Structure 1
Amino acid sequence: MNSLQLLSFLLLSCIITPGNTHGGKKKEALGSQSQHTRTKKDHQNLETKFRLYTDTTEEGCQIFFNQLETLDKCSFNASLPLVMIVHGWSVDGMLEGWIWKMAAALKSQHKQINVIIADWLTSAHQHYPIAVQNTRHIGQEIADFLEWLEESIQFSRSNAHLIGYSLGAHVSGFAGSYISGTNKIGRITGLDPAGPLFEGMSPTDRLSPDDANFVDAIHTFTKQHMGLSVGIKQPVAHFDFYPNGGTFQPGCHIMHVYNHIAQYGITGITQTVKCAHERSVHLFIDSLLHNDKQSTAYWCNDINTFNKGMCLSCRKNRCNTLGYNIREERLPKSRQLFLKTRAHMPFKVYHYQFKIHFINEIQGKQIDPTFTISLTGTKEDVKNLPITLVEGINGNKTYSFLITLDTDIGELIMIKFKWEGTAVWENIWDTVQTIIPWTKGTRRPGLIVKTIRVKAGETQQKMTFCSQSIDNVHLHPAQEKTFVRCEDRFPRQNRK
């Protein structure tokens, strides 16, 4: 079973369930806002189980709605912030292991908080469209619970942070929209909010920036199949993060199924299917466990522009930290941020924009060379990074591309740039020279590389590198040139 089969299964579930076609019928599947108008707590028991995480019990200490003695029994501290973890759709009716890992990570890094797991398995362990319908009801129960805490022990809803995964992200959004009064929940984090039956819906029918004082979301599996994706693609927060473009994640390809089986046993097949979807969870846990390796993301229009390294600016709040330690800022419009990550924890990489000015001496002849680049930093060196230009080299032009490093090399002080040519390339150049005679002496035509400009995303430092050999700036196949820090001799146009 692969990710495409999972999406097909979700699509089949949507098709065989009445009232899941387009337009108004699709909204009926979710249930309308008016259908879920809240009644004033006319029930003593909620379907959702609220488990306060403790180090001493695996299942947590259950707090019962309207039973104050359970707050004392579980040692809930009203003066401390509350983080509530809300799981998603359940296939096997069991709480997944990541829930306890996240709870433990929250408590280990921030001991002065209450961590509650909102267990809504009874409603989540249903056919997907039924579980979708149940999200509103569970959101209302969470709103009721928070209001009860506020009324009974003066716990402020602004100190509540809901972290919802998949369907749980929309549950959290409904909780934020149903809570009464003008004050909002403090923060909602959506971890790859579910896509089927939510993509394209109005803000009142899904997680949206209006549901809390601050809303952030991490999108990790928006690859579409038959018009559906497991995770929602559209922005749903004040800051929407799209690691690696958000469509898929490194290390999650079906080819890695054997690695997952080795780690998880036969359940590794399931792990492969949900790997990209659940990556959002582990990116968030990573932000808790590695304070010294916080991942930075950058505002950009799309992943293609980002892959050219053209969006590494932090001016005017154009970048932010992914995960728990995000800088909270309400914006009038959702802001989409992109970043690259590694395939495993810690996920942080270091982003660099490289701008290389080429002059192709063979006019009218496009070439498509492959380069490698080696970097020397004050802390570490990195060798033979492959560089493939998106387009061939023509005439006189500057090319921009993104390079990411797994390690912090410190301040960049030297670059070695190599044209990975072979004897075949040498023959091609000799042929070109024969057909188009070179008139400037006996030197063979090649590429002129004048400058390499570098911008480090994480430090925002800008650097210019010039050829170490001032008299020879020509590059030929199989040659390597060394570039060192220099004054920028080539004025740049003012950028807005």
Structure 2
Amino acid sequence: MKSTAWLSLLALAWSVDANPILGLLNPECKVVHGECPHENITFWLYTNSTRDNPVLLNPLDLNPWDFQPARPVKILIHGYTGHRDFSPNSHIRPVLLDNEDVYVISIDYKPLVPDPCYFSAVQNLPLVSQCLAQLINNLVDRNIVPNENIHIIGFSLGGQVAGQTANYLKRKLKRITGLDPAKPMFVLAGNTSRLDPGDAEFVDVIHTNVFGRGILSPMGHVDFYPNVGSILQPGCREESPDSPGSCSHDRAPQFYAESINSTTGFWGRQCTSWLAYIVNLCPTTGKQELMGYHVSQETKGSYFLETGKSAPFALGKQEDVDNSQTLAQFKLNPELNEIPPDYEPQLLEAFLELDALKAVLNTDGSDLDKQLNWIGREDDEPLARAKL
């Protein structure tokens, strides 16, 4: 066990991508506690007229005139090492403001998710979620924004923040979008700790780095897998040779941003499972569904599509080729449209068994468990309620 763990840690140390293990040894990585509002979590309101000078919102003293006239509200949540001008904000916010009559709220919780503090960053997410829920509850309770007009869009760790926020909301949201929700420390987490279909009336998810930073298993009412959600999205080796995994992860918000005003569209076709798609056992005729901002909220299941190597990425509708006779030989069950729950591929950079980690670090097991205790919650164990 120790030898395996040492090899794993060496691989992590030499990886060109982010190394979350270092955060366990860094005294600067801290789990932050407190009440909402919190000084390390801020909310910035953008409109066409204030895009260069956004309004800093006070969740306890909201000005209704900031949200007049009435428009839909899009809430963007960044991930690990991010901030309010980082992905997905940098990709999605300008396109929304240019093409849609909406308000955009960008969250900034950069002080809680610094590099290399991934493990403490994950433990700080419940506080971020509580404070976001406080803002949303106050917007709705004070009749400033109707609940049905609020749409959360979260990238990476932000996707998991969106899921946790649902634990503290007084009313279920109409829609949550997860953009390659983060995998490390969430594979074994219960539904109270990560995004799932119960978090909103409609949850749509785009997976672009399922063998690395993102989760493979379906997490929404509809899940899209561009280029099989692969570890290496087309064009990323050339675009980012030193960090192709990061590039692939970031493709999710890039695809979503393009989908807002694309006339070509990202069209996916449903398949019985991810594994069936890998071995070419998916129907290549029939109805196709649009991925991204304009997805139909009646869409259910897992959908697959290909994209281009560079922007514009959308390739439009797929060609119909009748392969029904081939598929008939395999007698596939159309209800098996989920990936087996015990199948979740891992990369060394993304996840280590905690037992191996304890052995290598020579850390007292109880102390490490205390640091990471929230990921072991049962599905039916709620997170602590926010003090709103």
Specify if TM > 0.5: yes
Asked if 2 retains the 8 angstrom alpha-carbon contact of 1:30 and 1:197, the reply is: no
Partner of 1:278: 250
The residue number in structure 1 matching 2:236 is 252
Q: How does 1:425-440 map to 2 (within 5 A)?
A: none
Change (3 A) 1:399 1:68: closer
Tell me the TM-score normalised to structure 2 length.
0.70
* Secondary structure of 1:115 counterpart: strand
| Distance apart, 1:94 and its partner CA | 7.2
Other-structure match for 2:164: 174
Alpha carbons of structure 1 residues 312 and 306: separation in structure 2 relative to 1, 3 Å: farther
Q: Could you tell me which residue of structure 2 aligns to residue 476 of structure 1?
A: none
After the TM superposition, list the runs of 4 or more consecutive aligned residues in structure 1 that deviate by more than 6 angstroms: 1-4
Deviations 1:399-437 (A, max 9, x none): 79xxxxxxxxxxxxxxxxxxxxxxxxxxxxxxxxxxxxx
Q: Is 2:56 the partner of 1:62?
A: yes
* Distance across 1 between alignment mates of 2:151 and 2:36: 25
Residues paired across the two proteins, number: 310
Map 1:88-99; keep pairs closer than 5 Å.
88-90=79-81, 95-96=85-86, 98-99=88-89
Secondary structure in 2 matching 1:101: helix
Letter in 2 for 1:139: S
Query: Are 2:308 and 1:342 equivalent residues in the alignment?
Result: yes
Query: Where do residues 384-403 of structure 1 align in structure 2 (5 Å cutoff)?
Result: none
- Against the structure 1 CA distance between its residues 197 and 243, is the aligned structure 2 distance closer, same or farther, given a 3 Å change threshold? same
Report the aligned-residue RMSD: 3.4
- Aligned: 1:189 with 2:181: no
Q: Output the TM-score relative to the length of structure 1.
A: 0.56
Q: Which residue of 1 aligns with 2:383?
A: none
TM-fit CA distance, 1:293? 1.0
**5+ residue gaps, structure 2:** 1-10, 328-388
Task: Kindly state the Cα deviation for residue 352 of structure 1 after the two structures are TM-superposed.
Answer: 2.6
Aligned in 2, Cα 1:30/1:177: closer, same or farther, shift over 3 Å? farther
Identify which of 78, 87, 106 aligns with 1:117.
106
Which sections of structure 1, spanning at least 5 residues, go unmatched?
Answer: 19-28, 224-228, 261-267, 358-397, 401-496
The residue type equivalent to 1:342 in the other structure is G
1:295 to 266, 289, 299: 266
Matched residues in 1 for 2:205 and 2:22: separation? 26
Matched, 1:323 2:317: no
Partners of 1:43 and 1:237 in 2: how far apart? Answer: 28
* Post-superposition offset of 1:153: 3.0
* 1:105 counterpart = 2:95: yes
Match of residue 75, structure 2, among 84, 104, 107: 84
Question: Structure 1 residues 184, 285: closer, same or farther in 2, change over 3 A?
Answer: same
Q: CA deviation at 1:232?
A: 1.1
Choose between structure 1 and 2: higher strand proportion.
1
2:209 corresponds to 1:240: no
User: 1:243, 1:220 → 2: CA distance?
Assistant: 6
Question: Does the CA-based 8 Å contact 2:156-2:181 persist in structure 1?
Answer: yes
Q: 1:215 aligns with which of 203, 215, 236?
A: 203
Between 1 and 2, higher relative CO (CA 8 Å, sep ≥ 6) is seen in 2
Could you tell me which of 30, 41, 66 is aligned with 1:48? 41
Shift of 1:45: 5.2
CA distance in 2, matches of 1:314, 1:8: 41
Contact map agreement 1:306 1:338 (CA 8 A) in 2: no
Q: Is the 8 A contact 1:95 1:121 kept in 2?
A: no
Q: Matches of 1:356 and 1:212 in 2, distance apart?
A: 36
Q: Offset of 1:269 from its aligned partner? A: 4.4
What one-letter code is carried by the residue in structure 1 that aligns with 2:71? L
C-alpha distance after superposition, 1:232-265 (max 9, x if no partner): 1111111111111112310112xx15xx5xxxxx
Q: Deviations over 1:88-132 (max 9, x none)?
A: 0117x6732651331111122212x11111111121225001110
The alignment partner of 1:289 has SS state of coil
